[in-house]
Amino acid sequence: MRKRILLVIGAALLLIVGYSFGSRHTTVAYAAPPTQGTVPKSYGRLVTAISDQIGTGLIFEDSDGVIRFVAMTGMKEGELARYDQTPTHGGIPKSYGHLVAAVANPTGTGLVFEDSQGVIRFLTITGKTEGELTRN
């Protein structure tokens, strides 16, 4: 019987102490002001937006096929060149068509291209082909 009374009194005491310490500190979350920046029109059309570990990014493709990664502040984070004949390190062939989507996952960013024949290619950010689909 004594053990039950001590258990009830101990639990009540812990509840009172926890409430008194927990109710002293109030946490208020404030919304950040909207981010504003500028992006040159020469970056081309906006293809997609992705969210990764460092925040939200925008991906643009210009008329020459150059792909640019831009932060929400307007700062250019990176660029992928496109080539016709001579392969470049990290470049992507122009024959792969237009960039249609991008996906960010824990292992990196994946790019999805579709050419004029309807072939859909999945590439890594380094230009390595991960998969290919044909449409009929």
Residue range 8-65, pLDDT digits in tens: 888 888 877 777 776 666 666 666 677 777 888 999 999 999 887 777 889 999 988 8
Domain annotation covers residue 94:
yes
- Domains held by the chain: number: 1
Domain annotation covers residue 33:
no
The CA distances from residue 50 to 9, 67, 128, in Å, are: 54, 14, 20
Domain annotation covers residue 20:
no
Q: In CATH, what number is assigned to the domain containing residue 50?
A: 2.40.10
Hey, which bits of 28-119 come out as E strands?
45-52, 55-61, 67-71, 76-80, 82-83, 92-93, 98-105, 108-114
Domain annotation covers residue 19:
no
* Three-state SS letters, 105-122: ECCEEEEEEECCCCCEEE
Domain annotation covers residue 126:
yes
Backbone angles phi, psi at 42, to 5 degrees: -70, -15
Domain annotation covers residue 110:
yes
Containing structural domain, residue 96: 41-133
Domain annotation covers residue 65:
yes
Distance of alpha carbon 118 from alpha carbon 133, whole angstroms: 8
Domain annotation covers residue 31:
no
pLDDT of res. 112? 92
Interval 105-122: pLDDT, tens: 877 888 999 999 999 999
